[in-house]
Amino acid sequence: MTDDVLVVHGGTPLHGEIRVRGAKNLVSKAMVAALLGESESRLYDVPRIRDVEVVRGLLELHGVRVSEGPDGELIFDPSNVEEANVDEINVHAGSSRIPILFCGPLLHRLGRAFIPNLGGCRIGDRPIDFHLNALREFGAVVDKTPEGLHIAAPRGLRGAKLTLPYPSVGATEQVLLTAVRAEGTTELRNAAVEPEIIDLICVLQKMGAIINVHTDRVLRIEGVPSLSGYRHRPLPDRLEAASWACAALATHGDVYVRGARQVDMSTFLNVFRTIGGAFEVDDSPEGGIRFWHPGGELRAVALETDVHPGLMTDWQQPLVVALTQARGLSIVHETVYEQRFGFTEALVKMGATIQLYRECLGSTPCRFGQRNFLHSAVISGPSKLHAADLEIPDLRGGFSHFIAALAAEGTSRVYGVSLINRGYEDFEAKLTALGAHIERP
Ligand code: EPZ
């Protein structure tokens, strides 16, 4: 356990520059898409993070040859796709949720797929019913066993008319990755349209897919008999960029996030400005966004997370830390995941005043009201944060703990830091580059 601890001496503003690479939540899906191609694919600017390692390992277990080029380039050769050993898949998948997206591509390539029991951040129940119902509509047969899911498509996959009960990112990706090579037309209603999904559609179009994005969350996909490989530069990681922006704000710092792109972050930027943060967009080819605390007091605000183009749920946790420093009462209604405020317990321990509520404190339609989920938060600030011993609960909540420890007075110990490497490349090196006083015990 001791090698998984960082000591954080708080109270120093973060100053300097870091760079974000391709978005974790696109890169991992584009890697799965490479399985669908009949020729080599090349993905550029891939971050060195644990989620990428997991997907790479799963691809290799299925016979895809993966090699590396310069500057984060990954090359996938899918000419020998083969079935993998169930035990090896189970060991390798670890706590990732990406394996569920292997279904469509493996069914097309091999007629069968095995999917281990899924992990992922514990931020809610995280069921996969939408995925399995969609696969069944395409003609797949799902057999649930204690070791995982055995899925087969004895008569191939056929296009289907589908409506998601909620615009789930993963289920939309599932449908895309399955429909592109299914026979006939697929119509998906109530689809997610996050920028990472639009970028995945770009990847698939490069491979030869025909996908139309209509208004009102409707996608229409014309299945094609075969796909080729792709060359793709992913959209930048807007979740990581927002995390560093909030770290700059909460520590009274000034951070230039090279690679951050305005168009993917406009909802976040509006909130950042509303609460008193300053930013400047640099549109040059190698540009980014500079985020800083302009002095004076931060302002309280009422927020609700939502599917795109609403305020992304992964922006909520770092924003909450910044809101502990804002004057007045802030209200945050989380409508995407039912249990995404677990990380606030540690903030309260550090001196923040945060009260959680079961009620919907906001007007966005939400599935969690009257269901006993503490999914609204009221934050009263500004609070002086003091150091504490912290245990990383999940990826975004964990980063937020770091922000709090950096903003706090005194020395904190943060346990379980390796979880952060799932989604943040060179996390410790970036903190050091920004002048944070951190050390291994
Ligand atoms: C993706 O998760 C991201 N993960 C999440 O980021 C992100 O928070 C989320 O989308 C929302 O934008 C990846 O891309 C790897 P969902 P995903 O399906 O696809 C419910 C991070 O830290 N649901 O859109 O798993 C579900 O319980 C992670 O980078 C069902 O009920 O999210 C949730 O309440 C955390 N049944 C809601 O839909 C299903 O079958 C949205 O989940 C599927 C989902």
| pLDDT number for residue 348 | 98
For the segment 350-385, what is each residue's pLDDT rounded down to a tens digit? Answer: 999 999 999 999 999 899 988 899 999 999 999 999
How distant, in Å, are the alpha carbons of 71, 205, 294 from that of 39?
Answer: 22, 15, 51
What average pLDDT does range 399-404 have in this prediction? Answer: 96
**Residue 293: closest CA among 18, 15, 19, 20:** 15
| pLDDT number for residue 117 | 77
How would DSSP label each residue in 197-250?
Answer: HHHHHHHHHHHT-EEEEETTTEEEEE--S-B---EE-PPB-HHHHHHHHHHHHH
Q: Please check the confidence at residue 239 and state whether its pLDDT lies above 90.
A: yes
For the segment 269-310, what is each residue's pLDDT rounded down to a tens digit? Answer: 999 999 999 999 999 999 999 999 999 999 999 999 999 999
CA distance linking residue 50 with residue 431, whole number of Å:
18
Neighbour tally for 426: CB within 10 Å: 16
136 CA distance to ligand 1 centroid (A)?
20
Q: Is 228 left (phi over 0), alpha (psi -120 to 50) or beta?
A: beta
Amino acid at 37: G
* CB contact at 8 A, 215 and 188: no
Q: Please check the confidence at residue 2 and state whether its pLDDT lies above 70.
A: no
Which atom of ligand 1 is the closest one to the Cα of 170? 19
Q: How confident is the model at residue 145 (pLDDT cuts 50, 70, 90)?
A: confident
**Atom 3 in ligand 1: which residue has the minimum CA distance?**
25
**Catalytic (active site) residue 360:** no
How distant, in Å, are the alpha carbons of 181, 193, 316, 327 from that of 20?
Answer: 33, 22, 19, 31
Give me the residues paired with residue 161 across strands: 187
Report the side by side order of strands in the sheet with 437-439. 389-391, 411-415, 5-9, 437-439
For the segment 19-42, what is each residue's pLDDT rounded down to a tens digit? Answer: 999 999 999 999 999 999 999 999
Same fold, 2-20+236-439 and 24-232: yes
Domain ranges of the chain: 2-20+236-439, 24-232
DSSP H stretches of helix in 324-426: 344-349, 395-407
Token pair for 239: 């979740």
CA distance linking residue 128 with residue 142, whole number of Å:
12
Token pair for 43: 């993905």
168 CA distance to ligand 1 centroid (A)?
6
Residue in 103, 121, 202, 246 annotated catalytic: 121
- 2-20+236-439 belongs to which CATH class? alpha beta
For the segment 72-116, what is each residue's pLDDT rounded down to a tens digit? Answer: 999 999 999 998 888 888 888 877 788 899 999 999 999 999 988
CA distance linking residue 47 with residue 421, whole number of Å:
10
183 CA distance to ligand 1 centroid (A)?
27
Pocket of ligand 1 (CB under 6 A): 24-25, 97, 121, 124-131, 166, 168-171, 192, 194, 239, 313-314, 336-337, 395-396, 423
DSSP H stretches of helix in 295-363: 313-323, 344-349
- 24-232 belongs to which CATH class? alpha beta
Which of 20-24, 153-157, 406-410 is least confident? Answer: 153-157
Alpha-carbon torsion angle 47, 48, 51, 53, nearest 10: 130
CA distance linking residue 229 with residue 62, whole number of Å:
17
* CB contact at 8 A, 36 and 226: no
Amino acid at 152: A
**Atom 16 in ligand 1: which residue has the minimum CA distance?**
168
170 CA distance to ligand 1 centroid (A)?
6
| pLDDT number for residue 88 | 86
CA distance linking residue 212 with residue 219, whole number of Å:
6
Q: Candidates 20, 24, 25, 174: which one to mutate for ligand 1, based on the most atoms within 8 Å of Cβ?
A: 25
97 CA distance to ligand 1 centroid (A)?
9
**Atom 31 in ligand 1: which residue has the minimum CA distance?**
127
Q: Please check the confidence at residue 123 and state whether its pLDDT lies above 60.
A: no
Amino acid at 146: P
Q: Candidates 126, 129, 199, 264: which one to mutate for ligand 1, based on the most atoms within 8 Å of Cβ?
A: 126
**Residue 50: closest CA among 440, 430, 426, 391:** 426
120 CA distance to ligand 1 centroid (A)?
10
Which atom of ligand 1 is the closest one to the Cα of 97? 15
Which atom of ligand 1 is the closest one to the Cα of 129? 40
pTM over 0.85: yes
